[in-house]
């Protein structure tokens, strides 16, 4: 059974999903691939992991960098999981390119190269937006490309983080 919880952020509604113990999804309402990891049977329920995720979101939207990550359960391919684990290392207020991630994945796998487009596909299907910061991934020239929540939302998130990051 899957469970959901709703959170109202300054940038719009967010739906959280859980398997009962860990966070399995976090989407801005209406974003591309919304609810991808949800089964057909789910119910709204209060859970400790939702309390943790709401606390994380509250800290994040107050302009501070959260110093913890709620428990995540990522049921996916090893490739996507490796990409998402790299996303978790991108510092608050900073960005990384698809190409830089591709180089890291290639090194991990002992390959001479990796497709930035393949990385882009994995980034785009990240089911836990914000906490796994796919909004921090940019094009080779720093351009804001691809974000399931839309480029406008990606720009707002990056600007918020960079402005706060510069203050400290």
For the question of residue 134 being annotated catalytic, the response is yes
Catalytic residue among 57, 134, 148, 158: 134
C-alpha to C-alpha distance for 152 and 157, rounded to whole angstroms: 9
Both structure tokens of 30:
């209406």
Q: How many CB atoms lie within 10 A of CB 158?
A: 19
Indicate which residues carry an active-site annotation.
134
């Amino acid at each position: 059974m899957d469970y959901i919880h709703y959170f109202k952020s300054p940038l719009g509604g967010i739906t959280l999903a859980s398997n009962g113990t860990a966070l399995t999804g976090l989407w801005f309402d209406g974003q591309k691939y919304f609810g991808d990891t949800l089964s057909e049977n789910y119910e709204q329920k209060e859970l400790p992991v939702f309390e943790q995720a709401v606390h994380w979101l509250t800290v994040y939207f107050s302009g501070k960098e959260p110093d913890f990550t709620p428990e995540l359960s990522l049921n996916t391919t090893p490739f996507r999981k490796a990409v998402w684990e790299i996303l978790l290392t991108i510092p608050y207020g900073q960005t990384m390119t698809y190409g830089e991630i591709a180089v890291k994945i290639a090194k991990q796998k002992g390959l001479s190269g990796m497709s930035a487009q393949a990385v882009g596909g994995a980034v785009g299907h990240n089911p836990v937006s914000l906490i796994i910061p796919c909004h921090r991934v940019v094009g080779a020239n720093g351009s804001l490309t691809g974000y399931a929540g839309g480029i406008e939302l990606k720009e707002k998130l990056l600007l918020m983080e960079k402005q706060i990051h510069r203050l400290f």
